[in-house]
Amino acid sequence: MVRPAAFTAPGRFWRGNLHTHSSRSDGVLPPEEVCRRYRAEGYDFLALTDHFIGSYGYPIVDTVPYRTRSFTTLLGAELHSGAMENGEIWHILAIGLPPDFAPPDAPTFQPSKAQERGPDLAARAVAAGAFVAIAHPQWSGMTLADARSIASAHAVEVYNHGCAMGCDRADGFSIADLLLTEGRQMSLIATDDAHFTEPDHFGGWVMVKAGENTPEALLAALKAGEFYSSQGPELHDVRIEADHVVVECSAAVSIIALGHGTGAKGVHGHAMTRAEVPLRRLNYSPWIRVAVIDAAGRRAWSNPVWL
């Protein structure tokens, strides 16, 4: 039997958003109000990730004062430097950055040839202790070669609620599945990318399995892939037994197992809380991930499990 790490690790699930902006960059609310709103919505933690750009003063916002007994924060930023293949600047999500992380020479969102390359900036963030994700690939116009070059990334942002609401470009699954098929053992995150300028908040999050709701425990669990992502549905267990995947979840209408290429198989019904999905349609994929869809069309996604 094989299970994703989220369902074998000790502890409980904590709900959090990993991509958020405030008035310290291009968001409209001050950091304390952003934290208050997420706390009021029942989130257990938040990473404020303002744009790490010179015109904003290269902010790594100190959110420590907004922590409570039941709500914590992770320090982070959205990093930018250098140009992707389409000529636009990189967007790299970094969670768990030290406050003194050295900025690149990125005064604005306009890239230049002299700047530090995006892959090098990502590697530097990982070396500094951060959990790093490739941000909103579809919105950025990212190519597979771009994504492939961020060799140090832990994850791909596969759902971005702000990009869903603002421009209908929320997807990162195409890039993620191609990287997985090339053998990259990456995790998958859903986020808000909230700016509070439109309905871009409380729409995508991660459920992190950890023994305690502390920055240290959450960051370690993120790096270990001990989480799943959701827009609403809950995943209670995912396990591979012989020739099928067993999924236990909140009420769903579709439970789907996916693998490389065209490999996919779904089970459909009403208010399903358990399903056995046969693996014969997954083309002997070396990795498998699960998607669950509820009656409102909201989804939850497991991290890939490697066979």
pLDDT of residue 58: 98
Domain limit, last residue, from 215, 230, 245 = 230
Cα angle for residues 27, 36, 46 (degrees, 5° grid): 70
- What pLDDT is attached to residue 33? 98
Last residue of a domain, one of 176, 196, 230: 230
Which of the listed residues 208, 230, 252 is the one where a domain comes to its end? 230
pLDDT at 139: 98
The number of distinct structural domains making up the chain is 2
Measured between alpha carbons, how far is 60 from 62 in angstroms, rounded to an integer? 6
pLDDT for 1 equals: 87
Half-sphere exposure of 297 (CA within 13 A, CB side): 1
CATH number of the domain where residue 284 is located: 2.60.40
Contacts of 276 (CB under 8 A, 6+ apart): 244, 245, 246, 247, 267
Which residues of the chain have a pLDDT value below 70? none
pLDDT at 98: 97
Give the pLDDT confidence score for residue 156 in this predicted structure. 98
